[in-house]
Each structure stands twice: as structure tokens, then as C-alpha cells.
Amino acid sequence: MSKNIPETELLYTKSIPVDKLSTLDALQLMLNEHENGMKSVRESIEKIEKAVISIYSHIQKSNKGKLIYCGAGTSGRIGVQDGVELYPTFGWPVDRLNFLLAGGKEALTKSIENSEDDIENAKFLAKNNNFNESDVVIGLAASGNTKFTEEILKIASKKGALTVAISNNPNGSILKQAKVKIILDTKQEVIAGSTRLKAGTAQKVCLNLISSMVMIMMGKVKDGQMINMVSNNKKLKDRKFRIEAYFNKKYSYNE
């Protein structure tokens, strides 16, 4: 039976069960596994580089294409977390950003787990989004087999969009539907199946690397600073003032 189950769902057997450990030992075990999640990102860095170059090249061909994140549950929320920061940090246009979540916006704050198998909803959202060859669609799934995400990527690919699949399962079916495939092989969680742990950490870091590097390549960062940032509060206005003063040679961070 276990042959057909993703490793992300299997029982963690490298130690006694986490609930049998002392509080400190349990915390150390979870932290160690989060670090192992980071190792899975490092092992896939060349694939991540390919994704960055592919996304950048695709975006540069048109000024109309959207960046679209799709997923269910934790994976979908991590996609939103990454994407919503692109406007304030880099000035990426909000009308060129979209999120396709299993269960819709309600899934951001409420678990709607049965929605991950809703292929009809995926088809409906894909139709409404009207994918085209200028778009970039990034699909995430810890198990790699989320039907909602697989269907979105399948439709996006047929429409000519650049598709990127990020799976924590090397045999994830979503990988078959994407042009660029990234495997974050995080294996078993210390709480079996709870991929909000190291699988989620690996996904967050992976997306963070991809989106940040794409924006850097687009010239939205200069001398390590956010030159296109949107300032809408005192802290950010002060930061923008320092950045502008720095480039006008009126401010030095070393002073």
C-alpha cells in the first residue's frame, strides 16, 4: 500500500514519535527537519535557476503577461504569501498578478480540503482567467498529485503559457503538466502528512528565490536596494528617502 503513497504522507521513523519527546527535543527535531527542507531546495538550485531564467525570458517578451500562482491548502497560501509582496517590494503591477486557489479566497483563512480534488472548479477558474502565451503559471503541491493544481497547469500549458510545477514528491503528477519542473524532495514529516512543516518551508524558500531573482533581473533592484518599492507608510517613506538620497550621493549607510 505504501508504494502508492507519497513520502510526504508516510510515517516519520528516524526517531521516536515527536509527541513522545520532551518539549526541547521535539522542538530540536522539528527545527532539524526544517533545515533538511532547506537542503532539498539547495539540491534543486540548478532547476530553480532554470525556472528563473525561463520566467524572466518569458516575461520580457511581453508587457501584458501575468504571474499566476495556483495551489490548494498550504501550498496555495504560500503562493499567495509570495505573490502579494511583489507590488510593494518591487512595484510589480497588481493587474499582472493572479492567484488561483482551490476553494477560492475563503481558503486563505479556512481549510477547505475537499476542494483540492475539484477539477470542475479548476476548469472554471482557468476559463475565467483566460490564459494566454504571455502568462507564467506556477503550480505548487506537496504531494505533487493535487488534481486542482494539475488541471490548472494542464489547461495553462495548452494555452501556451509558461508552466512551472513545484512538487515535494519526485513522482508528482503535476510535474507531467509543466514545462519547468522543480522537485523539493522533503520526504516524511515529523507529524505524518503535515506538509505545513518542512515541505511548506521548502516551498516558501523556493518561491522567494524565484520571484526575487526574476525581479532583480528585471532591474528592480540596484546596489542591493528596492528602487521600485511602493512607499505607503512612514517606515517605507523613510526607506525610500534613504534610497533616493543614496543615489544622489547625499546619504551613506556607513555613516
Residue 3 has pLDDT above 90, yes or no: no
Q: Which of 98, 226, 213, 75 is nearest to 144 (CA)?
A: 75
Which of the residues 33, 116, 150, 151 is marked catalytic? 116
How does pLDDT run across 164-200, given as a tens digit for each residue? 999 999 999 999 999 999 999 999 999 999 999 999 9
Task: Report residue 230: phi and psi, to 5°.
Answer: -105, 120
pLDDT in tens, 75-92: 999 999 999 999 999 999
Domains and CATH numbers, the chain: 2-221 (3.40.50.10490), 226-255 (no CATH)
The grid coordinates of residue 106 equal 475563503
Distances (CA, A) of 15 to 28, 186, 189, 195, 232: 12, 16, 12, 18, 48
- For residues 68 and 98, give the distance between their C-alpha atoms in angstroms, rounded to a whole number: 5
CA distance 70 to 147: 12
In sequence order, what E strands does 15-145 have?
67-71, 97-101, 136-141
Percent of the chain with pLDDT over 70: 98
Q: pTM of the entire structure? A: 0.94
Q: Is 150 a catalytic residue?
A: no
Q: Mind listing the pLDDT tens digit for each residue in 189-232?
A: 999 999 999 999 999 999 999 999 999 999 999 999 999 999 98
Strands 136-141 and 67-71: what pairing? parallel
Q: What residues have CB less than 8 Å from 235, skipping those under 6 apart?
A: none
Which residue, 79, 131, 129, is CA-closest to 107?
79
Q: What does the pLDDT read at residue 1?
A: 44
- Read off the DSSP letter of residue 156: H
Q: Give pLDDT, residue 5.
A: 87
Determine contact, residues 218/59, Cβ cutoff 8 Å.
yes
Cα–Cα distance measured from residue 251 to residue 243, given in angstroms and rounded to the nearest whole number: 8
Instruction: Please indicate whether residue 85 is annotated as part of the active site.
Output: yes
